[in-house]
Structure 1
Amino acid sequence: MDITVIFNPTAGGGRAKRLRQFVRALEQGGARVRLYHTRAPGDATRFLRELGDPGDRVVAAGGDGTVNDVINGLRPGVALAVFPIGTANVLARELAIPRRPEAAARVALEGRAQTITPARLNGRRFLVMAGVGYDAWVVDQVDLISKRRIGKLAYLVSMIRQLFRYGEVTFRVTVDGRPLDCFSAVISNGRYYGGGFVLSRQASLARRSVQVLLFQRPGPLFLLRCLAALALGRLEKVDGVASLSAERLTISAPGLEPVQTDGDPAGWLPAEIDLEPEPVTVLVSRT
């Protein structure tokens, strides 16, 4: 079996020792491993598109941003495996991918195939989520040096700094042809957000749709209520938060506003989000 491992050395502070254990476990399981260290955002996409033969499967070793980079270079018929060693590993949480190197290697070698339909933002795939408004401001303004040093705490710092901007911008989100206004929006392919927080109990990676959460009331106090409800897994119960299933949507705003996908900056509005015609095969634990 031939396996290409794409490793982000900056993910989660760079877990070089765990990577060596993971690769050793793959080789002990009979795999021939090609290891590639990314150098910058988008590097994994470019490398995989230029690679003649990636092998039987490609492993994204990093966080959700690394997975995003990999799936945008993944060829049809090649399976994706995940080794979660990044700052945020929402997809790994969704799929119950183990964090221990030896256990994750077993999934990459022997895992059960599960198909997931990626969403696309302006033609670029994402597997976990996209966001505009407060969610995108936090991602756009997070300090990358702090992110490497303190991990998720860097996002907390950015969340506090962006809190009082919430409510300043109104977004127009057209959900399957229905125009709606909001002050922030998160578009999710799965249940979780930021690691272990339940964003939406209606969302599912198994469904061919995304779940759209619209925050329709302004003001920092309302946003704080939403953040508290998110911590309790009750965000969709908050009066002023609308949760809708969708297959296609567009998002616009009066000025230049950022968008995030899978925890990384993903350009600017306007945005069109739809579903990939063909699913991606992801390896998950047999148990």
Structure 2
Amino acid sequence: MKITVIYNPAAGGGREALLCRFVAELEQLGARVRLYHTTGPNDATRYLNELEDQGDCVVAVGGDGTTNEVLNGLAPGVALGVFATGTANVLARELGLPKKPEAAARVVVCGKSVSVTPARLNGRRFIMMCGIGYDAWVVDGVNLGIKERFGKLAYVLAMLGQIRRYGERQYRVTVDGRPLDCFSAIVTNGRHYGGSFVLSREANILRPQVQVLLFQKPGVRFLLRCLSALLLGRMERVDGVASLRAEKVHIQCEQAAEPVQADGDPAGHLPAEIVVDDAPVPMRVPETFLP
């Protein structure tokens, strides 16, 4: 098995020792490994686009942002593997991927492949989620220095810093042709958010549809109810939160050039055109993984 490993040394403050154990186990299992260290944003995508032969599988070693870059450079038919060493690692939680490097390597070599259908945000693929409003403001406001040193604390501080702004912008979200208004929105391909939290029990990463959560009431009290519900995995039970399946979503805001986030990183500004991709990606998961 020919494997290309893409390692982001900036993700999670760096995990060089874990990377060495991961690669050593891949080779022990008989894989031929090509290793690349990224040098900056979008370098993984550029590197993969320039490769004539990516191998049988490309493994992203880093966080969800690293996986997003690998996804956008992945050649058709090549499997995607993940060894999560980032901050939130939402995709790894979604797919039940192990944290230890030796176990993660065994999943890549000895596991199975399942078809995951990404979505596209203004033409660029994302595998877990994108968001506008409060969700995007938080991602946009994360202090990267604090994130590198203290991990998830950076997101907590950004959340606290953006709470009072919630409700100041209104968005028009067109879900499969149906126009709806909201004050924030998250378009998700999977159930999890921020790591272990369950955002949507209706979402299914193996289904060629996304789940659209619309936050349709303004006010800080409503937002705090939503955040409390997220901790309990009951977001879709909150009065004022609408949850809909979709294949195509258009989002706009007439008030300002609002930011968008995708897979936990800034991803430009509105308007946003989100469509389910027409090409599923084979992803390496444990043999015990169940849809």
Q: TM-score, normalised by structure 2?
A: 0.98
Question: How far, CA to CA, are the matches of 1:148 and 1:185 in structure 2?
Answer: 27
Match of 1:60 in 2: 60
Match of 2:21 in 1: 21
Question: How far, CA to CA, are the matches of 1:226 and 1:29 in structure 2?
Answer: 45
Amino acid across the alignment from 1:267: G
Match of 2:268 in 1: 267
Question: How far, CA to CA, are the matches of 2:80 and 2:60 in structure 1?
Answer: 7
Question: How far, CA to CA, are the matches of 2:249 and 2:224 in structure 1?
Answer: 27
Secondary structure of residue in 2 paired with 1:98: coil
| Shift, 1:206, TM fit | 1.5
Q: Report Cα offsets for 1:31-86 as digits up to 9, x if no partner.
A: 11111111111111110000111111100001111110000000001101110111
Give the alignment of 1:19-98 within 5 angstroms: 19-98=19-98
Give the alignment of 1:120-269 within 5 angstroms: 120-254=120-254, 255-269=256-270
Secondary structure of residue in 2 paired with 1:72: helix
Question: How far, CA to CA, are the matches of 2:51 and 2:153 in structure 1?
Answer: 36
Amino acid across the alignment from 2:22: F
Q: Report Cα offsets for 1:191-240 as digits up to 9, x if no partner.
A: 00000101000000111100000000001111001000000001100000
Secondary structure of residue in 2 paired with 1:44: helix
Secondary structure of residue in 2 paired with 1:244: strand
Question: How far, CA to CA, are the matches of 2:233 and 2:55 in structure 1?
Answer: 40
Question: How far, CA to CA, are the matches of 1:5 and 1:137 in structure 2?
Answer: 32
Q: TM-score, normalised by structure 1?
A: 0.99
Q: Report Cα offsets for 1:87-122 as digits up to 9, x if no partner.
A: 111111111010100000001111101001100000
Question: How far, CA to CA, are the matches of 1:207 and 1:2 in structure 2?
Answer: 28
Which 4+ residue blocks in structure 1 deviate beyond 2 angstroms? Answer: none
Amino acid across the alignment from 1:101: P
Two-structure CA RMSD over aligned residues (Å): 0.6
Question: How far, CA to CA, are the matches of 1:111 and 1:47 in structure 2?
Answer: 26
Question: How far, CA to CA, are the matches of 2:166 and 2:82 in structure 1?
Answer: 34
Q: Structure 1, unaligned stretches of length 5 or more?
A: none
Amino acid across the alignment from 2:53: D
| Shift, 1:187, TM fit | 0.4
Question: How far, CA to CA, are the matches of 1:170 and 1:206 in structure 2?
Answer: 31
Amino acid across the alignment from 1:153: L
Secondary structure of residue in 2 paired with 1:227: helix
| Shift, 1:285, TM fit | 0.5
- Over the matched positions of the two proteins, sequence identity in percent amounts to 66
Q: Structure 2, unaligned stretches of length 5 or more?
A: none
Question: How far, CA to CA, are the matches of 1:221 and 1:39 in structure 2?
Answer: 42
Secondary structure of residue in 2 paired with 1:273: strand
Q: Report Cα offsets for 1:2-26 as digits up to 9, x if no partner.
A: 1110011111111111011000001
Q: Report Cα offsets for 1:111-157 as digits up to 9, x if no partner.
A: 10100110000010001000000000000110111110000110000
Secondary structure of residue in 1 paired with 2:73: coil
The alignment of Structure 1 onto Structure 2 pairs a total of residues equal to: 287
Question: How far, CA to CA, are the matches of 1:206 and 1:19 in structure 2?
Answer: 28
Secondary structure of residue in 1 paired with 2:186: strand
| Shift, 1:276, TM fit | 0.8
Match of 1:277 in 2: 278
Question: How far, CA to CA, are the matches of 1:206 and 1:277 in structure 2?
Answer: 13
Question: How far, CA to CA, are the matches of 1:157 and 1:51 in structure 2?
Answer: 40
Amino acid across the alignment from 1:263: G
Question: How far, CA to CA, are the matches of 2:164 and 2:92 in structure 1?
Answer: 32
Secondary structure of residue in 2 paired with 1:40: coil
Amino acid across the alignment from 2:233: G
Amino acid across the alignment from 2:270: L
